[in-house]
Structure 1
Amino acid sequence: MIHTNKPKIWYGGDYNPDQWEKSVWDEDLRMFKLAGIDVVTLNVFAWAKNQPDEETYDFDWLDEMMDKLHADGIGVCLATSTATHPAWMARKYPDVLQVDFNGRKRKFGGRHNSCPNSPTYRKYSVRMAEKLAERYKDHPALLIWHINNEYGGAGYCYCNNCEKAFREWVKARYGTLDQVNRVWNTAFWGHTFYDWEDIVLPSGLSEEWVGANGRTETNFQGISLDYLRFYSDSLLECYKLEVEAVKRYTPGIPVTTNLMGAFKKLDYHKWAKHMDVVSWDNYPRFNTPHSYTAMMHDLMRGLKDGQPFMLMEQTPSQQNWQPYNSLKRPGVMRLWSYQAVARGADTVMFFQLRRSVGGCEKFHGAVIEHVGHEHTRVFRECARLGAELGGLSSALLDARVEAKVAILFDWENWWAVEMSSGPTIALRYVEEIHKFYDALYRSGIAVDVISVEADLQRYDLVIAPVMYMVKQGVANKLETYVELGGTLITTYFSGIVDENDLVTLGGYPGELRKLLGIWAEEIDALLPEQRNRIIVQDATSGLNPEYECGMLCDLIHSEGAEVIAVYGEDFYRGSPALTVNKFGAGEAWYLATSPEEAFLRDWLPQVCASHGITPLVSAVPEGVETTLRSKDGQSYLFVLNHNADAVTVDLNGRSGVDLLTGLQLTCGEAELPGHEAWILKLH
């Protein structure tokens, strides 16, 4: 990450002075100092204020605030304000308005309400970015550009401009209609296209409908899959146009846009290639598993090859948009902030710094509450964290998380899995990924969450849950990885289709069949109340004799793979449920069914241990999270207690000084209070 003139973990968040009278500004700046805030995100939704009509640009308020912040030693993450177009634009140029799934033209309102293929939107958003970059290119407060905001938040557009652009996108991807008809398998139901104009967007007016469970269903997965690719690319093109505009004036200023974790609509692996630094907004619910939040941090870190990322938004306490918006209990905001730092964040930032007076986010938490002073629990906690981050200085900046285990995560595979018309509606890609991640998290084993394009050779173990789609070249890449000594684990419903969602003929798991040494003849989908059993064959394995399984059961035959466990029920009782195949110097595992959590918690640490991959601390207590960041030969061990009560932690022979308290912790056991953290600079 590029730190410019802020050689510490940045601390701050979104500030909207354009929503307040100037009399409030100086009081806010006074409290920013008290809280230790040194970076402010400005101008996120100020397009209407900056450009009241087609020809007029007015940045006087922004000039004044930029100068005030700089005078107070506060840097600026400057947004381009293009996430919501102004009302005059919608009235004068209706092409900027989106069309919904059912073909209805939207009116002005909401946010992220612009069609990404609108010539009007692209023209004026780029012009706004240029105006801002030209004006502030030499301003000393400018640290980083924040392009737009939370792209994709308003869903998809199905207007005529998008339809025309989709045809051009398809033409560029496939070249000829014959190829389009082949990869979309349009011979099915007699959907052959004879002219490019025959191609229409998949929507409620054509190939798609909303199923009983609220999930979008489709008659033609190939068409719908390409529309999702196209729409992600369309928004990315808007982003890139703004990036080009600001880079013309500020080539040395880094650029980002705030991502949203496992956000289904956009392929963030593609997006990250055009970001100088990844940033994201972290909003777990009060009952979100801590391992899921950790996985999202690791996913964001993995987008740019382990590079530290920005925590762009989190709430100091309450959120406003969830069904039940609980307060963060005392200490939790600080603890979750350190969870982000532990997993690679080099910033801790909030939405928002002052609570808005009206609108749907008026009850979203803020550093400065509606009472308007610093004498609140939330402000005191923010000020404590600000002081601590200041004390950490540059110790952790650019430190990397080191992992020997990787989990593959692929957006296009996610789309295809959940677009499939079978075998079960219960299959949720991210949930299946999380089952594997959670088992390793609870064991204290570090994990990178990476794309299929990443370098696999740095990892001893690669896990690819539900690898339904095997893209071109991926099977060969996995074979090379295993042949050279790597260990691969993949699962049920893997190796089924290619990148066009066409079934790979010749038997499941398709291109992975030789590597895995199995043939999957059939796939059984179990009802939610149905269960089967995994019966472990080797009594000396250290596993329990049996475990429950459900949802999906692949009926597989060994073609050279060793059978480790079998099914216990139904007509396929005794057939393989878990196999391992020796391949070159490595091995490839196939788990044919979705097991209960206990199986993964027992099995995965054993696989890791067999490759010398061990937890950072001994016998990680329930609710305790550990991770390690390292740079320049120095390692920092994070130990986070998510429990309200104190726990005893065995440091596994490690010792060091806690950067937060200055206390020396020696080898052996030590007590960590509830909702507290250690950052140990290891000896």
Structure 2
Amino acid sequence: MDSIAYGGDYNPDQWSREVWREDVALMREAGVNFVSLGIFSWAHLEISEGQFDFSWMDELFELLHEAGIRIDLATPTAAPPAWFFRTYPEARAVARDLTVLGPGSRGMASPHAPAYREACLRITRALAERYGNHPALALWHVHNEYGGVPESFSEYDQEAFRTWLQQRYGELEALNAAWGTAFWGQTFRHWEEVHAPLPTASVRNPALELDWKRFSNDSILDCYRAERDVLHEISPHVPVTTNFMSHTCPDMDLWTWADEVDIVSDDHYLRADDPRGFVELALNADLVRSLSRGRPWILMEHSTSGVNWQPRNVAKQPGEMARNSLSHLGRGADAIAFFQWRASRRGAEKFHSAMVPHAGTGSRVWREVCELGAQLSSFSAATGSRVRADVAILWDWESQWAQDLPWRPSVDLGHRVQTNTWYERLWRDHQAVDFVHPEADLSAYRLVLAPASYLLTDTAAGNLERYVKAGGNLVVGPFSGIVDENDAVREGGLNAALSELLGVQVHEFCPLRQEDSARITWDAGSSDVGTRELPVAVWCEELVTTTATVLARYAEGPRPGGPAITEHAHGSGKAWYVGSDLDLDGLATVFRGAYAAAGIGVPDLPADVEVLQRHGEDGTRYVVLLNHTDQAHTLTIPGTDHEATIEAGESQTLQVTG
């Protein structure tokens, strides 16, 4: 498409044909040029096994095509029909406690059930053959929100797990070594003894759990690939995607998924219990752009107002929908879409907001939907432009899986909380941020942050070493570089993977009791450090420096007088280590030195005002201004002499030449 795509999930099979015609007229009024169709329509398309009814879909394709609205056509495999489960009850997904999950909701069947695989490919092939060359078709949308059912323990799945392990390890001896089965007498002598992580009397083997996560991710990814390959075969000119859930689905390793889709797309919903949810929204938008390797991406779903599935589903304030949408746009999205077009009257999501709400076209939500459509249309020149970032944060789902396993030194040191805090410090400092896998090329970044890198492979550790030696600047957070890819503590100390790079060794973890706290103070020789006393609430470490310089020490806590924050010149670059959890003010003090070393400036902009920039190939800047405050601000766009005023709660789009 040559303009910003705007629209949402369209579920016309819930409505009469008279409503269809009204919908199309309203879509044109709102500026909608893109809808997702057929996501949950399997029961209406394949009415019994092998018997198809496309008549209603044919009619919709023509209605939308005549109105100039492009179609994102889904394979409806996230919602197998009732006849499927009646015919193939053995294909149902099975929970960890071996409860068989029944039909009557959404999700998917066992990913390894032959009947499910066969049925998915049949409906996918039928749709591709009928609509693959239709001029209204812009995109294929496989399944919906993979990972909503992240694992299954059926006999099919457990047997597939053994096969997966045999392919990964080859010999049983290698599996025993990787899993450390000598501990607690778990050694396997026959492959038939290897099992999925079912309920046990005590804590399960952590390496088994980690491999099960990898296997489950690979299993569901294989389901996607099978459908995608059919679509590529029949309509190779039409790109294929599936909508990620980067913020709510931690069970999918989206780095492995991102290279399998033609266009990255994501669904994002605000957490109603977070009054500063716009920061987490920014984090996830930056993460999705990073999954897309900087290329434009699709916001496939978000909400016009409240959702229906949280304990308290807070409505958005006036102007908030536009700010949320333009935050994604400013972070690289070339499509802004919602769930859903028209609010449902029945079913589990009837209280979820929509572009056409229950209150109809006389509502504030509808007026804001139309205003946003006009604003996006006027900003179409930004299509295809990209975001540039000098700072990157390491992000690795496998490390997160491993850190989340039981029996860690403190439940209060969470990788997501740690990453969110470090990201928000960058956000408050008005830095554009990418996320990168620890094994990815880091050479484009002046500064790399590793707030929570519990698991590091040898390849990742070597990558960080090369980055710093070549002149890069790296800041590492606590509890990092601890285990290898099998969740085994490395020989040579608790941070052996990074100790030489950082010039410091971790001799012991010293987590705090819930009611305790600690303080860090900067050494007297440290200059320009801002706040000289930093509070610690969760975590301390006993550090022994080898070649690093101590910047700050514990004033109180489990190891008073011991090093807490260090700096190490390594090759042509520098590496900092922060051995404690720091709050936003504490991180400001640490990052100040890292910014200076990296040659990164902090723009002089008001707090909670965002200035997002995308860059066109011709040098044009496409600027998005977001004001999350209750007062107006006049500011100068960084890197330009262009001045703009943005009112309280407002969002703007600007085009700046030069």
Same fold (TM over 0.5): yes
Q: Does 1:265 align with 2:251?
A: yes
Match of 2:151 among 153, 156, 173: 156
Match of 2:333 among 319, 332, 345: 345
Report if the CA contact (8 A) 2:421-2:583 is conserved.
Answer: no
Counterpart of 1:659 in structure 2 is none
1:41 is paired with a residue of what secondary structure? strand
CA 638–156 in structure 1, closer or farther in 2 if over 3 Å, else same: same
Counterpart of 1:302 in structure 2 is 290
Matches within 5 A, 1:595-674: 595-615=582-602, 617-618=603-604, 620-632=605-617, 633-652=619-638, 654-656=640-642, 665=643, 670-674=645-649
CA distance in 2, matches of 1:121, 1:655: 59
Q: Give 2:544's aligned amino acid.
A: H
Q: Which runs of 5+ in 1 are unaligned?
A: 1-5, 209-217, 657-664
Counterpart of 2:535 in structure 1 is 548
Report if the CA contact (8 A) 1:440-1:605 is conserved.
Answer: no
Q: Does 1:676 align with 2:651?
A: yes
Match of 1:140 among 117, 123, 135: 135
Report if the CA contact (8 A) 1:295-1:449 is conserved.
Answer: no
Report if the CA contact (8 A) 2:620-2:655 is conserved.
Answer: no
State the 1:409 CA deviation. 0.4
Counterpart of 2:371 in structure 1 is 384
Counterpart of 1:111 in structure 2 is 106
Greater shift after overlay, 420-429 or 379-388?
Answer: 420-429
State the 1:269 CA deviation. 0.4
Matches within 5 A, 1:527-538: 527-537=513-523, 538=525
State the 1:153 CA deviation. 0.8
Q: Does 1:184 align with 2:184?
A: no
Greater shift after overlay, 604-613 or 576-585?
Answer: 604-613
Counterpart of 1:289 in structure 2 is 277
CA distance in 2, matches of 1:187, 1:121: 38
State the 1:16 CA deviation. 0.4
Match of 2:348 among 360, 368, 393: 360
State the 1:542 CA deviation. 3.0
2:500 is paired with a residue of what secondary structure? helix
Match of 1:232 among 217, 220, 227: 217
CA distance in 1, matches of 2:69, 2:558: 68
Counterpart of 1:32 in structure 2 is 27
2:510 is paired with a residue of what secondary structure? strand
The alignment's TM-score, normalised by the length of structure 1, stands at: 0.93
1:525 is paired with a residue of what secondary structure? coil
Q: Give 2:311's aligned amino acid.
A: P
Report if the CA contact (8 A) 1:654-1:682 is conserved.
Answer: no
Matches within 5 A, 1:35-54: 35-54=30-49
Counterpart of 2:472 in structure 1 is 486
Counterpart of 2:457 in structure 1 is 471
Residues 27-56 of structure 1 deviation map (CA, whole Å, 9 limit, x = unaligned):
111111110001010000000111111120
Report if the CA contact (8 A) 1:14-1:351 is conserved.
Answer: yes
Counterpart of 1:514 in structure 2 is 500
1:111 is paired with a residue of what secondary structure? coil
Report if the CA contact (8 A) 1:398-1:631 is conserved.
Answer: yes
Q: Which runs of 5+ in 2 are unaligned?
A: none
CA distance in 1, matches of 2:518, 2:195: 44
State the 1:243 CA deviation. 0.2
Q: Give 2:654's aligned amino acid.
A: I
CA 368–116 in structure 1, closer or farther in 2 if over 3 Å, else same: same
State the 1:325 CA deviation. 1.3
1:649 is paired with a residue of what secondary structure? strand
Q: Does 1:97 align with 2:82?
A: no
Counterpart of 1:174 in structure 2 is 169
1:425 is paired with a residue of what secondary structure? coil
Greater shift after overlay, 532-541 or 335-344?
Answer: 532-541
State the 1:203 CA deviation. 2.3
CA distance in 2, matches of 1:158, 1:261: 24
Counterpart of 2:554 in structure 1 is 567
State the 1:425 CA deviation. 1.0
Greater shift after overlay, 497-506 or 424-433?
Answer: 424-433
CA distance in 1, matches of 2:109, 2:501: 47
Counterpart of 1:331 in structure 2 is 319
Residues 215-242 of structure 1 deviation map (CA, whole Å, 9 limit, x = unaligned):
xxx4211000000010011000000000
Residues 617-675 of structure 1 deviation map (CA, whole Å, 9 limit, x = unaligned):
41x2222122221121222232210123323434457234xxxxxxxx37xxx454323
Q: Give 1:483's aligned amino acid.
A: K
Q: Does 1:584 align with 2:559?
A: no
1:593 is paired with a residue of what secondary structure? coil
1:511 is paired with a residue of what secondary structure? coil
CA distance in 2, matches of 1:425, 1:640: 36
CA distance in 2, matches of 1:515, 1:377: 56
Matches within 5 A, 1:413-452: 413-452=399-438
CA 649–672 in structure 1, closer or farther in 2 if over 3 Å, else same: farther
Counterpart of 1:214 in structure 2 is none
Match of 1:123 among 118, 121, 133: 118
State the 1:539 CA deviation. 4.7
Residues 231-260 of structure 1 deviation map (CA, whole Å, 9 limit, x = unaligned):
011000000000001111111111111111
Counterpart of 1:211 in structure 2 is none
Counterpart of 1:223 in structure 2 is 208
2:486 is paired with a residue of what secondary structure? coil
Residues 403-443 of structure 1 deviation map (CA, whole Å, 9 limit, x = unaligned):
11100000000000111411011122111111111001001
Greater shift after overlay, 533-542 or 450-459?
Answer: 533-542
Report if the CA contact (8 A) 1:443-1:605 is conserved.
Answer: no
CA 170–585 in structure 1, closer or farther in 2 if over 3 Å, else same: same
2:598 is paired with a residue of what secondary structure? coil
CA distance in 2, matches of 1:169, 1:577: 43
CA distance in 2, matches of 1:356, 1:309: 27
Residues 124-166 of structure 1 deviation map (CA, whole Å, 9 limit, x = unaligned):
1111111111111110000001000001113421111110000
1:510 is paired with a residue of what secondary structure? coil
Q: Does 1:81 align with 2:81?
A: no
State the 1:527 CA deviation. 1.9
State the 1:678 CA deviation. 4.1
CA distance in 2, matches of 1:172, 1:301: 33
State the 1:202 CA deviation. 0.2
CA distance in 1, matches of 2:452, 2:242: 29
Q: Give 1:292's aligned amino acid.
A: E
**Root mean square deviation of aligned Cα:** 1.5
Counterpart of 1:456 in structure 2 is 442
CA 273–207 in structure 1, closer or farther in 2 if over 3 Å, else same: farther
Q: Give 1:321's aligned amino acid.
A: W
The count of aligned residue pairs is 653
Counterpart of 2:544 in structure 1 is 557
CA distance in 2, matches of 1:362, 1:289: 24
Q: Give 2:557's aligned amino acid.
A: D
Sequence identity of aligned pairs in percent?
39
Q: Give 1:638's aligned amino acid.
A: V
